[in-house]
Structure 1
Amino acid sequence: MEVIEQRPKLVSFRAIAFHGENRAPATGKGGWNFQLTQNIEVGLAVPTLPGGILQAVVKIDLSTVANSETDAAHQASFQAEYEAKFDYPAGVTDEIVVPKFEHEQYQYVLVAQAFPLAMTHFRRELQSMGFDARVLPLGL
């Protein structure tokens, strides 16, 4: 069981990039099929200066292509990049964290905190571009 004093705390979450194109006419008719792909990377940042804080970083890349169910010529695409940073308490060293970090379950706990934030933003951006993106998942 993990000691609470060694748990990382989410200190930063940001959208690094978002690009979307929806040139289809806004007719309000017909549905869209979404194909979502995701790439998630988890890393550990070890400080190079004495007294620096150990940090875990989760990078999430989301990409989706939406195809019109009524007109195959209408297609929209969206890409987004997100980054979450977690700070470990002072005194926690990489010797303590690295063995835990190698386990998928430990990484999952970090990703599970960042992914819903990324998907919430992604879905809102799609909504602002004329899509009902409720079919996209909020969780892992």
Structure 2
Amino acid sequence: MRKLTTLMALTMLAACGSSYSSDITGTTLSNLAGTYDLMTVNGSGLPMMVQASNPKIELVSERIVVNANGTFTVTTNRRNTTTAGAVTTNTLTDAGTFGSSGSATTFHFNSGTTATATMSGNTLTLVAPTSTSVYTK
């Protein structure tokens, strides 16, 4: 279950080259650096249903902190509701590295997930095989 939630939340990052001096669609790494909050996954806002029952799991929020040195951390907050109505929350964390090769910027998560990134203004979009996640700075 944790792997499914982490995969869903993190599938927006991509893995490619090892050079951290390139750009991401015209944005320097120092401009890419910052704190980004998840706004949508596949066009749906938060909270977002990850699992419908036993327990019901919702993605409540996610934050990516991108550093100019080519590293990042991710914090994902979930809400779990049992069939009896008991609610608990938990936080998942991950980290990794990112880099650019040519015009492609990719993020490698320590958990094994990768995603391709694009930047437009203050919006970071991460595209993974099963989802597209949009974050704002």
Tell me if TM exceeds 0.5: no
Q: Which has the higher contact order (CA 8 A, sep 6+)?
A: 2
Higher fraction of strand: 2
Q: What is the TM-score of this pair, normalised by structure 1?
A: 0.35
Q: What is the TM-score of this pair, normalised by structure 2?
A: 0.36
Give the greater-gyration-radius structure (CA). Answer: 1
